[in-house]
């Protein structure tokens, strides 16, 4: 597995296409959720890519405070279906959090998590804040890691 950390400007066309394809494959098609994935926030994000055989198979976006939420944030956590159950999601979160800590980006870290993944994110020190809400027809919760 190859890991890359890139700004929007550093992404190659093939990397951008591959990460957008993965996000559409999982969030739009697999989860049957028509929503506007291309949200004009990719340009501000740091993109964390897990690449296998030239294809993005895992991905997150990391934002500095104020670029998405008031706090530092991680979002669009996604892995290709054939790579689930192999620890890729855990590795994605570990690498994203480690990047934030290495670069001394401000804490806390906020995420907008699909509610069914609450326990997954609690494994990384995130705690629910506020009540459940609907985002793109899917129940979500706000979570913070201090």
pLDDT for the residue numbered 35:
87
| Fold of the CATH domain 2-106 | Aminopeptidase (3.40.630)
Average pLDDT estimate for 65-80: 96
* pLDDT tens, position by position, 80-93: 999 999 999 999 99
Kindly tell me the burial class for residue 117, based on how many C-beta atoms sit within 10 Å of its own C-beta (0-12, 13-18, 19 or more).
middle
Q: Domain residue spans in the chain?
A: 2-106
* pLDDT tens, position by position, 110-138: 999 999 999 999 999 999 999 999 998 89
């Amino acid at each position: 597995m190859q890991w890359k950390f890139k700004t929007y400007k550093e992404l190659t066309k093939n990397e951008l296409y591959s990460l957008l394809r993965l996000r559409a494959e999982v969030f739009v098609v697999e989860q049957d959720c028509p929503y506007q994935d291309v949200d004009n926030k990719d340009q501000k994000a740091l993109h964390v890519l897990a690449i296998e055989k030239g294809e993005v198979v895992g991905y997150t976006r990391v934002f500095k405070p104020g670029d998405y939420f008031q706090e530092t944030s991680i979002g669009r956590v996604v892995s290709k279906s054939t790579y689930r159950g192999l620890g890729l999601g855990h590795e994605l979160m570990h690498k994203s959090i480690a990047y934030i800590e290495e670069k001394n980006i401000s804490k806390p870290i906020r995420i907008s998590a699909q509610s069914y993944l609450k326990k997954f994110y609690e494994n990384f020190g995130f705690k629910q804040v506020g009540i459940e809400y609907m985002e793109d027809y899917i129940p979500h919760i706000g979570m913070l890691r201090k």
